Amino acid sequence: MTGPLREREDAHALLTAEAERARAGGGRLVLLRGATGTGRSAVLEAAAAHATHLGLRVLRARCSPDDIALPFSSVLHLLGSVPEFADVGPGDDDRGSAARLWRLLRSYADESPLMVAVDDVHLADEASRRWFVEAARRIDRLPVLLVATERSQYDIDPRPAGLTHALSPSVVRTHTLAPLTDNASADLVRAAFPTASDRWTADCVRASAGSPLLLHALLDDLDGTPPPTAVPRTCAALYPGSYPAAVSWWLDSAGPATAEVARTLAALEQAERTERTERAERAERAASAVRAARKASAERAENAERAASAERAEGSVARNTVPVPFSFPLPDPVPDPVPDPDNCTDTVTEAALEALPAAEAATDALAALVADASGADPARVSGWFTAMTRLGVLRPDRAGRPRYAHPLLRDAVLGGWSTARRQDAHRAVAQAMLRRGDHLDAVARQLLGSAPTGLAWALRVLRDAATVAARDARPGDAVRYLRRALQEPLPDDLRQRLLTELGSLEYASADTPAGIPRLAEALDLPAEPRDQVRTAIALGTALVGRGEVRTAVEVLRRLKGRLAGHPDLARALQTASALLSDQDQTVRREAYRWLTDTAERSPELVGASGQALLVRYAATAGDLPAQEAMRRLRTLLTEPADPLAEPFLLGTAAAVAQWADELDEAERLVERGLAGQHPSLLHPMEQALLDTRWDIAAARGAYGTLLAALPEAGRARRTGGSPVNADAHTLLALVETGRTPQARRLADTFDLRDTPDSWELNRFLYARGVLRHTEGDVAGALHDFLECGRRQSARAVHSPVVTPWRTAAAECRLALGNPQEALALATEELRLARVWNTPRTTGRALRVLGRATRGRRGLELGAEAVAVLRDSPAEAELVASLLAHGRQLTAAGERGRGRDHLREGAERAERLGSVRLLTYAEQALRTAGGRRTTPAHTGSGSLTGSERRIAELAADGRTNTEIADLLHVARRTVETHLTSAYRKLGIRRRGELRGVLDD
């Protein structure tokens, strides 16, 4: 595809004037200079055509590097086209040959004015160049216009002096052809494709880099795929390939050193762009989460306003509108995704001018890196960056560093290299980056594109980068680094460790099909016994996640049989087997039977972690009080523990502490256990600790925490659509915060008919029962609660510490008019609760039993429930008991006391953020003929006791860590309370606390 010459009017005017001058008998040399692809030859051809039109005879020659060895070859090509001089050739005497050729030209000029057109004079042989220079000095009185084109471009290897270096300015006119402007390039694109959009046109303009050669070649290739088909980003999508061929020719013209630098820059940029793209994708995912959360918040407000409008329409005079639901703190808006460097802008603003020194430093650093990797002179590379930016081949990104103007151009530059050569370039760049101390991630990303090196430094970089990526919760990056590391030559023991880490990370990043075979391969390799145990535990964890519990336990048992000389490792495997068996009630029964029998005969074979599991088992079976359970666990925690077994001990103790209402201690144990987890090794206790963290948040009634941190980790390990613990807590939090439609959508996500047995399924059944009860489907709720209880009993889990299904079912029985069945369920629940004997379980059972019992005894039980729960951290249970007892008192005629309880319950429910309980409280208050006093939502009066205590300590200058140590709570607890206090007090800084607390 060809097109008209654009932005070449000055050159045309100059050549027209000089042609007229030649016709009048005055000759001149006109030198057309320009970079490769700027259209020098096209301008020369247009000038020759115009000269012919004016009556000048045109002699043409195109210089070639193939003719350099033959003296005067370019001049002979020029004059040899005249038949009568075809036998002229150079003699042994250069000066004599030059004179003969000069006489030949004069004879030709005597017949007619001449235009001598010499293309690519920089490629002429040395004798011809000297002849052209001498001719330029002597044609000023001859009717001869000598027009030559010369490549003028900054290259890595300096070029020899140009044709006019030794000429006086009076005998030569020099004109430099600039690259096309964006507007001119866009006009050419629209002339070829009139329907092209602005975006499509801009892509073509950037890919052509101001070069008419590249632009026409690109438009030729795109002729078969016109817009709206997107402009390709790789040359593979182009046909017939004129564009990559033009780019290759452009690089060949620049010389091997320049081509090396250009391709090294392209390889470096390609690896860096991959990192930026992934970072942008992560930012976009985070932004999507924020948008979804804000949309949900708007929906909540809209629903609340509709409810308020409906109640106002009923003419209610009491304060009976449902308040705007609890507003959860949303994360700060996520900035726009990292700009695509391929769509950067070079518009200069004041801010850009201020950033110029930093941009220059970044460019110099990049030039030094490329020079080091390619073996070029850094100063020449920096100059080449500047020259290519002026030409439009490179454009600055937001940081001011030069980048190829379009990914298609970058791909075409790389296309001239073989795979092996590209790999060598990535290795060289990585080594150069390592020498100058670049970030580990950047070096490793370059190594991803290199071939195995067998060098110790490369393996070290890949392993260290994988470790950092895993620690920073970037499993995708860690997986790529480890896959590349495994391509290096490795001894079996090291390969075994890397395979274990890789399989663990692949599984954690939802690539389960790849992760399990990796772990199985690692287990078959020879390794130290401790490494084999780590691999077996990781493989068992992955298999359980896929629902293959019995297979997982069998894997651990087989390895245990080979560890006769390592009792500590054997105990760790046995503990892992027991923990993993929790997902299958049959396997669980077998595992705990073995643990129990062994502990009775030979306690040393069970170890501290096994003993802790037995304490947990007894607690769930309803055989052990909370105080005794915690005493035993605290004793076990003081014993020396093997590093492989310690996570089991910490995780088990954290779970039991949460059940025992020792929430701060449970939180400390969770954080300690998670801190000890290897970020790139699968371990069953890691998920157990995360589950306990969810349980703690639920026990505190921290609905904002439960809903803000969506259970992505749980979703990643979900198999076959099975719900996990995080789903159950999310469902309950949605119900409590009045988002019943969203809770219903979440519940309908799972088909529980074919879901494998697990404790998580039981917990989700309980949560779905709560949802159904809230929706008014009491019979459906009762079915879920009884099914949860049946499954729990089959697992020998009788205590209400895990799921209080009996009290929930009893409330359904009461609603359905079956008080005797409700009484039986509540009585049994209270019996088991008194065994465990914590305020949360006992108070809940007392509340429901009081409702089922009724009468004076029922009032006593309700009052006892409230009294017991005032010492509990379970605020939601206290609210429920206050409301239940308030209604009991009202029904018994004690309306004043009843309203007091209902008002307190309403205020606590609002502070807690429980829309469900708040709505229930306000309805009960209206029924009791009262209204709720408006609580203090802001100011120091709105602070809870814990918030005020922590805020006062912070105001005294204590750090969060000091406050946590002083109050024996977790640092996270301090941070949560301070955040809430800041919001209520309307402040942002710690220094403002004292002033607002004193008000």
Q: State the Cα–Cα distance between residues 305 and 591, nearest whole angstrom.
A: 54
Contact 248, 284 (CB under 8 A): no
* C-alpha count within 13 angstroms, C-beta hemisphere, residue 22: 32
Helix (H, G, I), strand (E, B) or coil at 896: helix
Contact 212, 35 (CB under 8 A): no
Tokens of 907: 């205020």
% helix, strand, coil for the chain, step of 5: 70, 5, 30
Q: Is 385 left (phi over 0), alpha (psi -120 to 50) or beta?
A: alpha
Q: For residue 298, which of 324, 323, 322, 321 has the smallest C-alpha distance?
A: 324
Q: What is the DSSP string of 107-169?
A: HHHHHS-EEEEEE-GGGS-HHHHHHHHHHHHHGGGTTEEEEEEEE----SSPPPP-TTTTS-G
Any idea which residue has 């802790």 for tokens? 612
Q: State the Cα–Cα distance between residues 758 and 465, nearest whole angstrom.
A: 37
pLDDT of residue 510: 66
By residue count, the chain amounts to 999
pLDDT of residue 971: 77
Contact 370, 352 (CB under 8 A): no
In angstroms, how far is CA 424 from the centroid of its own chain? 29
In angstroms, how far is CA 828 from the centroid of its own chain? 50
Q: State the Cα–Cα distance between residues 58 and 79, nearest whole angstrom.
A: 11
Q: Cis (ω within 30 of 0) for the bond into 337?
A: no
546-551-554 Cα angle (round to 5): 145
Tokens of 318: 């009491």
Contact 522, 503 (CB under 8 A): yes
Helix (H, G, I), strand (E, B) or coil at 61: strand
What are φ and ψ of residue 175, in 5° steps? -130, 130
240 Cβ contact partners less than 8 Å away, ≥ 6 residues apart: 220, 221
* Structural Rg of the chain based on CA atoms: 41
Average confidence score pLDDT of the chain: 86
What are φ and ψ of residue 696, in 5° steps? -65, -45
Please return the burial class of 895, using the count of CB atoms within 10 Å of its CB with bins 0-12, 13-18 and 19+. Answer: middle
Q: State the Cα–Cα distance between residues 967 and 958, nearest whole angstrom.
A: 12
Tally DSSP H helices, then E strands, for the chain: 46, 7
Contact 886, 930 (CB under 8 A): no
Q: State the Cα–Cα distance between residues 789 and 804, nearest whole angstrom.
A: 9
- Pairing relationship of beta strands 28-34 and 144-151 according to DSSP bridges: parallel
Please return the burial class of 995, using the count of CB atoms within 10 Å of its CB with bins 0-12, 13-18 and 19+. Answer: exposed
Q: State the Cα–Cα distance between residues 584 and 579, nearest whole angstrom.
A: 10
What are φ and ψ of residue 239, in 5° steps? -145, 135
pLDDT of residue 780: 96
390-392-393 Cα angle (round to 5): 115
pTM: 0.75
Report the 10 Å Cβ neighbour count for 23: 17
Q: How far apart are the first and last CA of the chain?
A: 80
725-730-734 Cα angle (round to 5): 155
Tokens of 114: 């001449």
CA distances (Å), 244 to each of 251, 341, 411, 882, 996, in order? 11, 21, 9, 78, 69
In angstroms, how far is CA 996 from the centroid of its own chain? 40
User: Which residues of the chain fall short of a pLDDT of 50?
Assistant: 1-2, 82, 84-86, 88, 90-92, 289-290, 293-294, 296-297, 300-301, 303-353, 711-719, 936
Residue environment code for 147-173, b if the CB has 16+ CB neighbours within 10 A, otherwise e:
bbbbbbbbbbeeeeebbbeebeeebbb
The share of the chain scoring above pLDDT 90, in percent, equals 61
Q: State the Cα–Cα distance between residues 288 and 293, nearest whole angstrom.
A: 9
pLDDT of residue 61: 94
Tokens of 222: 């795109």
Q: For residue 449, which of 471, 426, 429, 465 has the smallest C-alpha distance?
A: 426
